[in-house]
Structure 1
C-alpha cells in the first residue's frame, strides 16, 4: 500500500532541495526506498515522482499485491515496455528538458560512497538513461541521495510516537539494571543482567501495539558494558571479565527494536552512566563528577546546536569542543547519528568534516543521537535520542540523564 505520508515527506524534501523529478528503478529486494513508499515486489518496478504527483509502474504479476491509484502495469508480452511507461510518466508529469533545460532527474546512486543510497546498478542506470535520452533528448541527472536521506530523517508524528515507546522501554530496562547491579559483578554478568531484565514481559508496550521486542543491534555487543580502566577502550568493545568495583564508573550502551502491529519497526539507542560508591562515600569524588558534568554540558550544547539546516559537522564540533577543552582528550567516534528503523539510519552524521555524511543538513523532525565520551580511565559516556523541532526547543525521546546513578 502506498505510504502517502512518507511520499509527501519525500516531495517536500524535493521542493526544499530543488529536485524536480525522482525515478526509483527497483529490482527485486534491491531498493528499500521503493518498498518503503509502495510495497514489496518480485520483478522490476518503477516509481516516477515529481514535486506534486507520481506514477507507479509494476509488473502485472505484482499488481494484485500493491494498492495504488496511480499505477500502470506492464507485461513481458506487452507492446508497452517498462521503458516506454517511464517516458509516458515523465510526459504526464511535465518533464520537458528541451523547453526547460534546467529540469533534472534524480536517480538512486551515491556521490558519497554510501551503500545505503547507491542502489541503482551501473548497467541499469545506463539503460534507463539511454531510453530517456532517446525519447526526450539530452537531459541532466543527479543523485537522489538528498531526497533519500531527508525522507529517512524526517519522521511523522506516528513514527515519533513509536520511537518514543522504544526509547522509554530501553530506559526502563537500564533503570532496573542499575537498581539490581551489585558491586563485584563482571561486565559480562552485567551484560547478561540486561538480557534477563529485557526478557521479562512488558505489558505496557503490548498495550501500545508492540508485537515483537528485539535488541537494537547484534547481540554480542548489545549492550556494550564498560567500567573503570576499560573506558579507554573503543566504544564498541565487548563485555569482559573485568569486575565493576567500588570507585569505578560504569556505563551501558543499549537499545531495543520494537515491531508494531502495522509491521513497522523502530529503534532506540541510549547510554547511561553510573558510579560504584566506596564504603565511606555518599557521593562521587570530584574527578568523576567532573566527567559526568562535562558530558551533560556537551549534550546540552549539542542539543542546542541541532537545528534544521545546520550541517552535521557543526553539531559535532560544538559538542566535542566541550569535552576536549575540559580534558584535553578527544574521542574516536561520531558525536551522533541518525536514528530510525535501524540504529544507524541513512541520514546526517554528526561527525568530523572529513566524512561526507557530516555535510548533510540536519532535518526538521529528525531524530539524532548525541553521545560524547570522556575516553580516559574511569571516564564516562551518555547518549540521548533527540528530536529536532523546527520552531521550538528540541526534546529527547525519553527522560534525560541529569544525575549520576549510584551503585551501592
Structure 2
C-alpha cells in the first residue's frame, strides 16, 4: 500500500497525543510548506490547508476543492472537508466541533523539522480562532521529534534497502578508483551509478555528486584537485529510496609506488577511529543521553593523542540525512537541547567520530546503526580496515 507508512505514523502520532494529553494536532500549510507532511501524511495541499489529528483518533483534512482528489484517494482520512473561498470558516467549525483544550502547532525554537508553521500563519490562526478557541496552543516538538525519530519496522526496512544499495554503489566506485582522477571525476562515478540504479542523492534528491575530498575538508562540492600517490580520499555518500536515506562515509588510501600498506601513522589513525565507533556503539542504548555517547567517542580520540572531534559523533537518519531529534553531540550551544535528548529503541543513527589533524591526516568513517532493546545494531557493513588503492 502506497501510504502504509503514513498510516502507521498517524497512528503513532495519536498515541503520543494521548500520552501528552493533547486534544488536537493542527498542521496548517500551503504549497507543502511544512517539513513534516511527507512523514505524516504523504500528501500536501497547494492552496492553504489544514491537517487535523485528534487524540480520540479522528483524521481530517481541510483543503480547497482543487486539492481534494489526491487526498481523498490516499484513503488516510475519515473526512476531507472542501472549501471554495476561505480556509477560515471550515477551520472554525472543526475547532467548535471538537472543543479542544490543547492544540499542538508545529513551532520550535531549536528544531527546524518541527518548525513548519510560519509567523504569518500563526498570527492568522490566532486571529481566526480567537472567538472559538480559548484553550492553549502548545508546541508539537516533543512528540513530532519522537515521531520522526522512532522508526516503524517498515521505515527501518526501507532505510536498510537504501544502505544495501549504497554499499553496492561504493563497491563499484572503489573498484574504479586510481591515481590521476580528480575529485569531480570520482564524484561523476557516483552519479553514473545512481543513474544506473534509478536513484538520487539523499541530500538534495537530485543526480548530484556526493562529498569527495582529498584536501580542504569541508561540506563542499568536489573540485578539480587530482589524486596523487599517498593521498587519503574521503567519500561521504547518501541515496534516497522511497523517501528514506542512507548516509555512509568511507576513507581510502592511495598507495605510493613500492608500498604494500599505508604508513604506520595512517594505519594507527584509522584503527583509533574504528575503535571509537565500536565504543560509541557499545554505549548507544535506550535510556542514555546523546551527549553521553558523544563523550565516549570524543574521549577515545583525545586519550590516544588526537584532536577533539569538531562536530557531533552522530545524528539521526530517516526521511532526511540530518533527521533532527536526539543528537549524539557535545553540550555545545550551537546544538541547543538536542544532545540532552534520551535515546530510544527504534532510532537510527550515524556514528562518525571524525579525525582531522594539523599534519594533514583526515578520516571520516561513517556507519549507520539501529537502536534496539538491547543496544546498537549495525545496519551497514563496517569498514574494518583501511581501503587501499594500488599504485599503477
**TM-score, normalising length from structure 1?**
0.81
Distance in 1 of aligned mates of 2:297 and 2:64: 53
Distance in 2 of aligned mates of 1:27 and 1:223: 31
Structure 1 partner of 2:302: 324
Structure 1 partner of 2:356: 375
SS across alignment from 1:87: helix
> In the superposition, relative to structure 1, how do residues 21 and 220 fare at CA in structure 2: closer, same or farther (>3 Å)?
closer
Residue correspondence of structure 1 range 8-19 to structure 2 within 5 A: 8-15=11-18, 19=22
Structure 1 residues 237-269: Cα deviation after superposition (integer angstroms, max 9, x where no partner)? 4334444333332221112223xxxxx322211
The alignment of Structure 1 onto Structure 2 pairs a total of residues equal to 376
Unaligned runs of 5+ in 2: none
Residue 217 (1) aligns with residue 195 (2): no
RMSD: 3.0
> In the superposition, relative to structure 1, how do residues 191 and 57 fare at CA in structure 2: closer, same or farther (>3 Å)?
closer
Residue 116 (1) aligns with residue 113 (2): yes
SS across alignment from 2:368: strand
Residue 251 (1) aligns with residue 234 (2): yes
SS across alignment from 1:337: coil
Q: Confirm or deny: 8 A CA contact 1:154 1:364 kept in the other structure.
A: yes
**TM-score, normalising length from structure 2?**
0.84
Unaligned runs of 5+ in 1: 98-103, 203-211, 259-263
Residue 196 (1) aligns with residue 192 (2): yes
Residue 386 (1) aligns with residue 369 (2): yes
Distance in 2 of aligned mates of 1:194 and 1:35: 26
Structure 2 partner of 1:47: 51
Structure 1 residues 318-370: Cα deviation after superposition (integer angstroms, max 9, x where no partner)? 22222232234123232222212222223333323221233333343122211
Distance in 1 of aligned mates of 2:17 and 2:287: 15
Distance in 1 of aligned mates of 2:137 and 2:325: 21
> In the superposition, relative to structure 1, how do residues 17 and 359 fare at CA in structure 2: closer, same or farther (>3 Å)?
farther
Distance in 2 of aligned mates of 1:281 and 1:337: 36
Structure 2 partner of 1:206: none
Structure 2 partner of 1:300: 278
SS across alignment from 2:234: strand
Residue 335 (1) aligns with residue 313 (2): yes
Q: 1:81 aligns with which of 61, 79, 89?
A: 89
SS across alignment from 1:24: strand
Q: Confirm or deny: 8 A CA contact 1:370 1:384 kept in the other structure.
A: yes
> In the superposition, relative to structure 1, how do residues 379 and 327 fare at CA in structure 2: closer, same or farther (>3 Å)?
farther
> In the superposition, relative to structure 1, how do residues 198 and 23 fare at CA in structure 2: closer, same or farther (>3 Å)?
closer
Structure 1 residues 196-225: Cα deviation after superposition (integer angstroms, max 9, x where no partner)? 3444x34xxxxxxxxx41122357973222
Residue 4 (1) aligns with residue 4 (2): no
